[in-house]
Amino acid sequence: MKESLTAETVMIAGHAGDEIEAYLAKPQDTDSFGGVVVIHHMPGYDTSTKEIARKFAAHGYAAIMPNLYHREAPGASPDDAAATARAKGGVPDERLVGDVGAAAAYLRDLPGCNSKVGVIGYCSGGRQSFIAACHLPLQAAVDCYGGGVANVPAQAPASMTPYIGLAKDLSCPLLGLFGADDQFPPPAQTAELSAALDSFDKPHEFHTFAGASHAFFSVDRPSYRVDAATEGWALIWDFFGQHLAS
């Protein structure tokens, strides 16, 4: 693994042609590579998720993270932008799909891209990764503890509805990484989603880690679980290596 990369902020034409900011990380000295669209979590377009984009580039993938809150608060801090987006009801699903589709197209247009693009998301981004993979032609999708797919809690915004009915439309293999102690989603709901995918013969593999709750990948939070995160990253590399490598 060379781990040489470049990273920069770029502007892309998102849903409906809106110009939005995105963070792009690319491997250097690599003749052919797959692409990964990284969907940030609810705290927003932040430093920790940019580090994840760079991690993918260090492993030989071009990664791009669109700022889903750019329209609501261009130039604002991640916390302020996220708060503004939440106050307006969150990111509409149609816009999310349009932005992820535009980010995928941007990756496919990069010199050296092998045209294979996957998507990964964490927390709310995990749910959005599933939504995107049910609407867009992708080669792989990873859902890291995305709640609200099989069911949504009573306190959720009215615009947030279950998406298990989209299982029949999943366009690519799905890797799900969940915590056994998580309540959003709890294991019963991930099992329900797995059963729905089975009923439509959709390829997927779900892993639930004992002793882990929500956000176990987040190294800067008390929820971080090193064993679950280490095993989770190994599964991600194997999964994307199988579906996105040249």
For residue 139, report the phi and psi dihedrals to the nearest 5 degrees: -100, -15
Residue 106 CA: distances (Å) to CA of 6, 41, 88, 109, 235: 16, 21, 28, 5, 26
Q: Note the pLDDT of residue 159.
A: 60
Q: Note the pLDDT of residue 111.
A: 97
The region of weakest confidence among 9-18, 22-31, 151-160, 190-199 is 151-160
Question: Domains in the chain, please, with CATH?
Answer: 5-243 (3.40.50.1820)
Q: What is the pLDDT of residues 38-84, one digit of tens each?
A: 999 888 899 999 999 999 999 999 999 999 999 998 988 888 988 98
The whole-number average pLDDT for the span 208-227 is: 96
Q: What is the DSSP pairing of strand 62-66 with strand 19-27?
A: antiparallel
Cβ atoms within 10 Å of 235's Cβ, excluding its own:
16
State what percent of residues in the chain have pLDDT above 70. 96
Q: Note the pLDDT of residue 197.
A: 98
Q: Note the pLDDT of residue 44.
A: 87
Residue owning tokens 């989770």: 232
State what percent of residues in the chain have pLDDT above 90. 83
Q: What is the pLDDT of residues 182-199, one digit of tens each?
A: 999 999 999 999 999 999
Q: Write the burial class of residue 67 (CB in 10 Å: 0-12 exposed, 13-18 middle, 19+ buried).
A: buried
Distance of CA 7 to the CA centre of its chain: 19
The whole-number average pLDDT for the span 114-134 is: 97
Tokens of residue 193, six digits = 């989603």
Mean pLDDT of the chain: 94
Q: What is the pLDDT of residues 136-190, one digit of tens each?
A: 999 999 999 999 898 876 666 556 677 999 999 999 999 999 999 999 999 999 9
Asked if residue 95 has pLDDT above 90, the reply is yes
Confidence label for 2 from pLDDT (cuts 50, 70 and 90): confident
The whole-number average pLDDT for the span 125-132 is: 96
| One-letter amino acid of 196 | A
